[in-house]
Structure 1
């Protein structure tokens, strides 16, 4: 087993448990826990395969990862609450490991198939964050990876570095792996965020019109 398989195992455990915990927070039953955990761990890879032309059936060749995910979710389901809270405190590190491993994996798949740089970027990003987006949508939440600390950017930068041929050998890829983890953890610690612009207040104000210069009523839509 090479080092990246080890990283993929760690990432699978982190993402599967993350999905299971979200399901329990939303009070899903045990079937919902398994579904949300598996979607989080493997959803990004499925979407990536569809977009870059890889057979979706290659997913079934990862049987050992499915078993690891099922075992991880089962353990999370029966763990005492205090242990789950401890996991949550270190979750960011394991999540960063999973993001780095899956982003690099997705980029390598795309480059091996001879896709252009744009496809490599998309493959890296979707493999790293796709499962989390699907998880949040199924749980009725806004996707945290698109509004929390910088997250998807690190996956895209990993894809850019691989697509440009800056990291090719095993040692170089390991260096890239560490770089992604470090920058992801720095963004968590310092709460780095991308620029954002909120129009919620402006839209809310525009839906109210003055009446007699004093009172306001809701504007008909």
Structure 2
């Protein structure tokens, strides 16, 4: 039951994220559907390829596909005044999707008896893969590689599940809330991973003429 709930929570959260960004880029209804579906299911598809799960399993998600389509249509027809709240709640929905999908991906790997390393990678791919695909399709630089501590929280979820720190339903939901909270705290405080730029600073020539 917990697995199904994480699937539904993550799907709805990421579908909303993809649909909103598609409308920000002024995509038509087809673009909204494609971007929403890619955001919601892209990470899981990448995970399935990594774990050697047959691609046919991707299509055995009829209920989730229906939930995704209904969610996108609701978002598409909502009056613009309600969509403006996305600026306030968008990061929260993104954190919800990250947490739900990271835990779901880690549970998938542990159920198939994969080692800890594979569990962490599965959590990361499931949690951030859809967002990366979304940003690429929208012509944006994936923020996960540049601006924010994002994948680290997915890695933490995979570590907790892989080490069996969360074995009961209540512990899984506690982990879910902890990842969401950590994600929001990192956004609020502007935490970023160290980075190094190789771009040289251009020095403008000094005009010495009088």
Q: TM above 0.5, one fold?
A: yes
Please give the alpha-carbon distance, in whole angstroms, between the structure 2 residues aligned to 1:12 and 1:145.
19
CA displacement at 1:200 relative to structure 2: 2.3
**1:76 matched to which residue of 2?**
75
**1:124 matched to which residue of 2?**
123
Please give the alpha-carbon distance, in whole angstroms, between the structure 2 residues aligned to 1:25 and 1:64.
27
SS of the equivalent of 2:85 reads: helix
Question: For residues 3 and 110 of structure 1, do their structure 2 counterparts lie closer, same or farther at Cα, with a shift above 3 Å needed?
Answer: closer
Please give the alpha-carbon distance, in whole angstroms, between the structure 2 residues aligned to 1:27 and 1:139.
10
Please give the alpha-carbon distance, in whole angstroms, between the structure 1 residues aligned to 2:122 and 2:49.
10
TM-score computed with the length of structure 2 as normaliser:
0.91
8 Å contact from structure 1 (residues 20, 34) kept in 2? yes
Please give the alpha-carbon distance, in whole angstroms, between the structure 1 residues aligned to 2:5 and 2:104.
12
**1:6 matched to which residue of 2?**
5
- CA RMSD for the aligned pairs? 2.1
**1:190 matched to which residue of 2?**
189
**2:32 matched to which residue of 1?**
33
Moved beyond 4 Å, runs of 4+: none
Please give the alpha-carbon distance, in whole angstroms, between the structure 2 residues aligned to 1:157 and 1:29.
37
**2:104 matched to which residue of 1?**
105
* Worse-superposed segment, 4-13 or 67-76: 4-13
Question: Is there any run of 5+ residues in structure 2 with no aligned partner, and where?
Answer: none
Work out the number of aligned pairs and report it.
208
Residues 1-221 of structure 1: matches in 2 within 5 Å? Answer: 2-201=1-200
CA displacement at 1:37 relative to structure 2: 0.4
Please give the alpha-carbon distance, in whole angstroms, between the structure 2 residues aligned to 1:104 and 1:145.
18
TM-score computed with the length of structure 1 as normaliser:
0.86
Q: Which has the higher contact order (CA 8 A, sep 6+)?
A: 2
